[in-house]
Structure 1
Amino acid sequence: MSESTTLREFEAKRSQLASESLELCDDFNKFSDECSFLCDAFAAVARDPACITPETSEGIWYVCYKLKIQIRTYRDQIDEIHQGLRALKPNLNSEDE
């Protein structure tokens, strides 16, 4: 492969990873705001244990489960971006040789 083709491929991959990273950051910021709201709601419920009905308990369980799944999804997305960045690093170093 020519040096210009390799550089174009590198730049295309780098641009793709940067775009994915920015999108992930935006999504995570929204998620963080939602989590802050939920933490306040859970704290309010915990202050008045009498209001914790079976339905409330089930709702809390469901929200916590959804949060756990979303956190795992973010972790996986971050791992994919990091793997992509690691894969680019050796390619950049090999061009210097």
Structure 2
Amino acid sequence: MSESKLPLTEDAVKREQLSDGFANLREDYSKFSEECAFLFDALAAVSREPECITEHTSEGIRHLCYWLKYQVIGYREKIEELQDRWRALNRKQRP
């Protein structure tokens, strides 16, 4: 005997999408954190030997700082968007 599944409500579909969004964001952020740890170790190593900071090294550090800044901004925007969608869905559920 097979169980019949009821179709998901619109809110259930939205909750599922939000759950997937949070899971994806968590996975992306975990990878980003690992990249940051590597970069911070590299920057700390370079700063211990300032004589090795060439023009190219300096430009690379500037580029990484710019990249990090906009990655953080992007994560903040993704988090805020998911939070807004979650709040809207929860407000809709209240009587």
TM-score, normalised relative to structure 2 = 0.90
5+ unaligned residues in a row in structure 2: which ranges? 1-6
2:30 aligned partner: 29
1:62 aligned partner: 63
Distance 1:59 1:44 in 2: 14
Determine which structure has the larger helix proportion and give its number: 1
Residue 8 (structure 1) shift: 0.6
Residues paired across the two proteins, number = 89
* Cα deviation code 1:30-67 (max 9, x no counterpart): 00000000000000000000000111000000011011
TM-score, normalised relative to structure 1 = 0.88
Distance 1:32 1:90 in 2: 33
1:73 aligned partner: 74
Distance 2:29 2:91 in 1: 29
Distance 1:67 1:93 in 2: 39
Aligned residue for 2:19, secondary structure, equals helix
Find out whether 1:14 has 2:24 as its counterpart.
no
Aligned Cα root-mean-square deviation (Å): 1.3
1:83 aligned partner: 84
Letter in 1 for 2:87: R
5+ unaligned residues in a row in structure 1: which ranges? none
**Poorly superposed stretches of 4+, deviation over 4 Å:** none
Distance 1:25 1:64 in 2: 22
Q: % of aligned pairs identical?
A: 47
